[in-house]
Amino acid sequence: MPQKAEVFSFVCNCCGKEHVGIPAYGYDMPVDYFDIPVMDRGKRAVLGTDTCVIDRERYYIKGILDIPIVGYDEPITWGLWAKVTEADYAQYRKLLGLDGSAFQATGKIDVTMPGYNELDKAGQTYALRCDLVGQPVGLRPRILLHPVSHRLFVDCSQGVSPERASELIALMPH
């Protein structure tokens, strides 16, 4: 068994500082939100910390996606939005603030994550299929990607090297 390092740290090639620990980052809104002209957002979108509805016909839930780092206990944690059906959205809203363990839905990722979309559209994380798995009270649902030949799925299922983790973290807004 390789010994696990206690704390992940690296010198960031983005800001030049040493980062100790693994930062978490969450998107404040689904990327579809930015398709709405700024002046119309207040009218067309209802945006909260955990849920979003656009045009009363597109429904989004915020969940948590972990990317494990090989050799470390703590993963990189992303707060991501997923587009879900109206029925799943309604069910989730009912459970907000309660134990959500029974909640389960399928959705599509509704963010474009740095480190995945540089090359071409097929490399983007947008619209990747996922499951949302409800959690006990106070915790956002877990996001589990459906198996697909995409770098994000490979990273989530196999974990990333510390070197790639450093690259990904440097690309997180911070």
Based on CB atoms, which residue is closest to Zn ion, 114 or 123?
114
Shortest reach from residue 27's CB to Zn ion, in Å: 18
Q: Is 52 helix (H, G, I), strand (E, B) or coil?
A: strand
What does DSSP assign to residue 34? G
Residues contributing to the site for Zn ion (CB under 5 A) = 12, 14-15
Shortest reach from residue 77's CB to Zn ion, in Å: 16
Query: What is the CA 25 to chain-centroid distance, rounded?
Result: 8
Q: Which residue's beta carbon is nearest to the bound Zn ion?
A: 12
Backbone φ and ψ of 41, nearest 5°:
-60, -40
Let me know: does 12 contact 18? Beta carbons within 8 Å: yes
Rounded Cα–Cα distance for residues 84 and 58 (Å): 8
Based on CB atoms, which residue is closest to Zn ion, 50 or 167?
167
Based on CB atoms, which residue is closest to Zn ion, 26 or 123?
26
Shortest reach from residue 76's CB to Zn ion, in Å: 13
